[in-house]
Amino acid sequence: MRKKTLEIHIKGRVQGVGFRPFINRLAEKFNIKGEVANTDYGVFLKITGDISHLEKFINAIKNEKPPLAIIEKINIKETEYKEYPAFEIIKSFKTGKLELEVLPDVAICNECIKEIFDPSNRRYFYFSTTCINCGPRFTIIESLPYDRENTVFNQFKMCKKCENEYNNIKDRRYHSQPNCCPECGPQIFLYDKNKNLIVKGKDVYKKAGELIETGKIIAVKGIGGYHLVCNALNNQVVKELRRRKKRSNKPFAVMMKDIEMAEKYVFLNEKEKEILTSWQRPVLLCKKLKKDLLKETSPGLNYLGVFLPYTGFYFLLFKFIDFPVVCTSANISDEVVIYKDEEIFQKLKDIADYFVIYNRRIVIHNDDSVGMVVKNKIYLIRRSRGYAPESIKFRYSKKKILGLGALQKNTFAIYKNNKIILSQHIGDLKTVDTFKAYKNAINHFFKLFDFYPDIIVYDLHPEYVNTKYRKELIDKEVEEIGIQHHYAHLLSCLVDNKIMEKEKKFIGIAFDGTGYGIDGNLWGGEFFIFNQREFKRAGHFDYIAMPGGEMVIKQPWRMALSYLYKLYKKEAIKFFNRKETEFILKILENYKGIYTSSAGRLFDGVSALLGICINASYEGEPAILLENTIDINTCNKFEYEIEERNGYYIVKYEKLFAHILDLINKKSKGEIAGMFHNTIADIILNISKKLREEYGINEVVLSGGVFQNRYLLEKSIEILEQNKFKVLIHRYIPANDGGISAGQVLYATNKEKQSIEKF
């Protein structure tokens, strides 16, 4: 048989996933000799074998790759024939082109779980058990390439046994960088709030379980930060946690022991089970069996955020308890999650009773991801642990771009080598600590990905701290591009759907709380015609006063009055009389403040008007409660009016509110809430039809935080599709402001001549 020698470059997520041992196994199987190495480009092979075997070998690489590997490209070149005596793994080398992937954090795998429950195994009851197929990655990597000395495990010298595993190509822990055991790795401790050591090592889980069972609140060091954990069945302790965290109603995520336990509280379809047990293991919003189950965790809601254990600690904890636990990010109000040991006792001294800590550093914070299943596919609301910083291959451009993101639910994004990398969830940048964490994360990404931007993209809102301080975030002059908030929302949905055609036009519907509009008003109920180069505003909800400015977010009843004022002027007092009504009506009479076209504010106003949420305790609460009030058998909708004004379709409020007021005492709240949602979906359809007629465009993009509303989203898709529209929605990039940075980056990729990718 004829033999030849090949050089093969494999690009993608091929390091830290057991790729070289996998190659080694295949080489043995097909009797191929040569060498394999990690490079800063990916994996490099130089191999000699029979021609037919080489072909099978290459197919097997593609088809049988390790679970966490992603192959983006295999480049094969024949080279001068060379005889090799064997197949071996050789030392990593650098080609000078750093282009590596950083793996997201991975849930502990089944093989490792088996070991921690096996009394004869040396990792029995060891919380930090990992292997090549599982464990933390993004939160332990300080720099690339992914070698042990570049991770926080450089502090731990492997014992003989661990080293043998690490060096044995047949072992599941071959080159597993965080490899360790109870003898040589990190140790776990349980302290009380005065830093007195209670127990350590194997005794921690049982003790922690007892404390949780007896109503204590425990801070637990996880993968990307601390959690606060307590008994979800104990309403009193959940209330106490709310009091201490100053978080009155915002739902808490609940960790379930397993699918079986979860099914005692929520309905799960096959897709939801698949996602809950995936290695990303996000929090998933699932429908409760009954609305009042685990009431304190999710007051007034039909849905509960549930997730399953994903670290050794949580599996071991559930060996000793048999009830669900509240498991929420350890932070104060909405600040960034705490992940530094030195801060934990100080910052949580009034919140946690006990602390579970291990002596291994977390490089960077990374919250739990949150999503839901919509039309049988995932729909992420927060893209973080398990998903970030996975890259999204998108377009070919040589520029390096930094998208600063929005202010709330912030993520930023970098673009380099044809890939967009979204940061983990950072949060609301309004607080000092969170903004500090944002700057820290940007610097970390610059270092980790060897990145520096040529272009920096910002939101047009002049008061966003990241927009304001963009020059401080980087230390040299770069090109700056501002982009309108809702346009960025819509573009982020195109990234999510991998739409490459720059000129292709879409109907864009961007509904959210607020974003800065180019006319100086606050936009948020927008209908656009757009492509990747430009947008045209084609319609919007009518402008409405926000009496008290930002205060309307916390006090949605002010918005209710504002809509009523449009209809009845001072007579509005007849329909909505509160202590402050006259005062607000006075403000409205001489209104000089800012106007908004926000769809989010409309949901707020209706929610307050129905008495469902008069004052909001967290962002989005009025709309969420309104959605949760819906009587799903409602088919009717309200009357409304669309006016053509200055070339825009304007959704008017007068007729809509007149109809709501007419029915408010005649129908149930559930029916009115249902009718209202049906009306909004109908407005979406109605204007889409007008725009299709006018522009000949048939594809509709739905983006913005309002589309976290499951009922509205599904209803809109349903009726648009019935009317032969093609509908694009979000999946892996959040529809809310957490996706803005991806849209910003996409826009800037068009700001230059395109180049053809070279390998």
Among 353, 512, 542, 619, binds Fe ion (CB under 5 A): 512
Least Å distance, CB 185 to Zn ion, is: 6
Q: Count residues binding Fe ion (CB under 5 A).
A: 3
Q: Give me the amino acid identity at 4.
A: K
Interaction partner, residue 181 (Zn ion, Fe ion, none; CB < 5-8 Å by kind): Zn ion
Q: Give me the amino acid identity at 24.
A: N
CB 250, CB 621: distance < 8 Å: yes
Interaction partner, residue 737 (Fe ion, Zn ion, none; CB < 5-8 Å by kind): Fe ion
Least Å distance, CB 409 to Fe ion, is: 9
Active site residues: 20, 38
Least Å distance, CB 284 to Fe ion, is: 23
- Asked if 107 touches Zn ion (CB under 5 A), the answer is no
Q: Which stretch binds Zn ion (CB under 5 A): 173-181, 468-476, 528-536, 540-548?
A: 173-181
Q: Where are the beta strands (DSSP E) in 653-707?
A: 699-703
Q: Give me the amino acid identity at 456.
A: I
Per-residue tokens: 325: 């636990």
Judged by CB under 5 A, the chain residues 467 through 506 that form the site for Fe ion are none
Q: Which stretch binds Fe ion (CB under 5 A): 155-163, 309-317, 513-521, 748-756?
A: 513-521
Judged by CB under 5 A, the chain residues 515 through 554 that form the site for Fe ion are 515
- Taking only Cα atoms into account, the Rg of the chain, rounded to an integer number of angstroms, comes to 28
- Asked if 159 touches Zn ion (CB under 5 A), the answer is yes
Of all residues in this chain, which one has the CB nearest to Fe ion in the complex? 512
Least Å distance, CB 100 to Zn ion, is: 22
Query: Which residue, 115 or 619, has its beta carbon nearer to Fe ion?
Result: 619
Instruction: State the CB neighbour count (10 A cutoff) for residue 694.
Output: 12
CA distance 85 to 614: 78
Q: Which helix (H) or strand (E) holds 456?
A: strand 455-459
Query: Which residue, 489 or 566, has its beta carbon nearer to Fe ion?
Result: 489
CA distance 750 to 748: 5
Residue 262's alpha-carbon distances to 254, 269, 287, 305, in angstroms, are 9, 12, 11, 10
Judged by CB under 5 A, the chain residues 307 through 366 that form the site for Fe ion are none
Least Å distance, CB 607 to Fe ion, is: 19
Interaction partner, residue 58 (Zn ion, Fe ion, none; CB < 5-8 Å by kind): none
How many secondary structure helices (H) and strands (E) does the chain include? 23, 31
Residue 535's alpha-carbon distances to 486, 538, 596, 617, 649, in angstroms, are 10, 9, 19, 35, 15
Interaction partner, residue 560 (Zn ion, Fe ion, none; CB < 5-8 Å by kind): none
Interaction partner, residue 481 (Fe ion, Zn ion, none; CB < 5-8 Å by kind): none
Query: Which residue, 183 or 721, has its beta carbon nearer to Zn ion?
Result: 183
Least Å distance, CB 380 to Fe ion, is: 16
Among 27, 43, 162, 374, binds Zn ion (CB under 5 A): 162
CA distance 554 to 612: 14
Least Å distance, CB 367 to Zn ion, is: 23
> 419: which strand partners?
393, 416
Q: Which helix (H) or strand (E) holds 57?
A: helix 51-63
Per-residue tokens: 152: 């926080």
**Binding characters for Zn ion, 178-197, by CB under 5 A (x = yes):** ---x-xx-------------
Interaction partner, residue 163 (Fe ion, Zn ion, none; CB < 5-8 Å by kind): none
CA distance 371 to 420: 21
Sign of CA dihedral 401, 402, 408, 409: positive
- Asked if 68 touches Zn ion (CB under 5 A), the answer is no
Q: Count residues binding Zn ion (CB under 5 A).
A: 10
CA distance 127 to 475: 42
Q: Which stretch binds Zn ion (CB under 5 A): 30-38, 161-169, 496-504, 552-560?
A: 161-169
Judged by CB under 5 A, the chain residues 727 through 746 that form the site for Fe ion are 737
- Asked if 131 touches Zn ion (CB under 5 A), the answer is yes
What is the rounded end-to-end Cα distance, in angstroms, of the chain?
Answer: 32
Query: Which residue, 178 or 324, has its beta carbon nearer to Zn ion?
Result: 178
Mention every residue, 6+ apart, whose C-beta is less than 8 A from residue 722: none
Q: How far is CA 378 from the centre of its chain?
A: 11
Least Å distance, CB 134 to Zn ion, is: 3
> 307: which strand partners?
255
- Which residues of the shown chain bind Fe ion in the complex (CB under 5 A)? 512, 515, 737
- Which residues of the shown chain bind Zn ion in the complex (CB under 5 A)? 109, 112, 131, 133-134, 159, 162, 181, 183-184
